[in-house]
């Protein structure tokens, strides 16, 4: 498998979490699918792709828009997170990204910028053995404007003490890639360097 490149003159590395450091996307899909079923919503893989990168409660608000429902975002969101947390122990690290993290740990400042909630993000990092590499984590709880707004990544850069244009962002979603571009950073789409599809995961679960 080809190594993920780190560009020249980069002084700080920022990593998305879900689908970038940790292969959580299949588990997130199953959690949304099973929760939506209770509300009479058919949550397809296409819909999941369309909503990828939107924070928890914002996803429920989008579902309400799409299906004309009036589901309580907090109630449904918490039901979904409970299902997700129950499967968190099975989540694996994404190896090409883990290699970058280990290689540059102690060499360049690094941070995590995720659209997920802080406590679940911290637990995800712990489960995949990556928590010891990061002391900067910006989550949905720390910002007002989620991706594709650049606020998440700009806060990461500020806490690392690195200019935005000197940061490289590792992402798997279009909202995050657009946020990195908007911040003036250099994004890399990690999905070009690993392959675990939701379909393959569902075949085994």
Residue of 16, 34, 141, 142 marked catalytic = 16
**Distance between CA atoms of 50 and 89, rounded to whole angstroms?**
26
| Beta partners for residue 170, in sequence order | 15, 188
16 an active-site residue? Answer: yes
CB atoms within 10 A of CB 132: 9
Q: Give yes or no for a contact between 186 and 155, defined as CB atoms under 8 angstroms apart.
A: no
Residue with tokens 């393959």: 200
Report the largest interatomic distance among the alpha carbons of the chain, rounded to a whole angstrom: 51
φ/ψ of residue 189, rounded to 5? -85, 110
Q: Is the dihedral of CA 179, 124, 121, 52 positive or negative?
A: positive
Which positions are catalytic?
Answer: 16
């Amino acid at each position: 498998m080809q190594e993920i490149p780190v560009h020249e003159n980069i002084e700080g590395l920022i990593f998305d979490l879900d689908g970038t450091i940790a292969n959580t996307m299949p588990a997130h899909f199953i959690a949304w699918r099973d929760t939506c079923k209770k509300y009479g919503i058919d949550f397809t893989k296409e819909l999941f792709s369309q909503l990828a990168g939107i924070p928890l409660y914002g996803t429920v608000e989008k579902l309400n828009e799409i299906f004309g429902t009036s589901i309580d975002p907090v109630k449904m969101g918490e039901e979904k997170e409970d299902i997700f947390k129950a499967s968190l122990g099975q989540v694996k690290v994404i190896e090409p990204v883990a290699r970058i993290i280990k290689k540059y740990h102690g060499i360049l400042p690094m941070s995590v910028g995720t659209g997920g909630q802080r406590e679940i993000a911290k637990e995800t990092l712990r489960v995949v053995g990556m928590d010891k590499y990061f002391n900067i984590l910006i989550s949905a709880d720390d910002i007002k404007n989620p991706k594709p707004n650049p606020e998440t990544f700009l806060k990461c850069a500020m806490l690392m003490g690195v200019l935005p244009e000197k940061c490289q962002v590792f992402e798997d979603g279009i909202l995050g890639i657009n946020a990195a571009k908007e911040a003036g950073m250099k994004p890399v789409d990690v999905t070009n360097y690993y392959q675990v599809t939701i379909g393959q995961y569902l075949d085994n679960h």
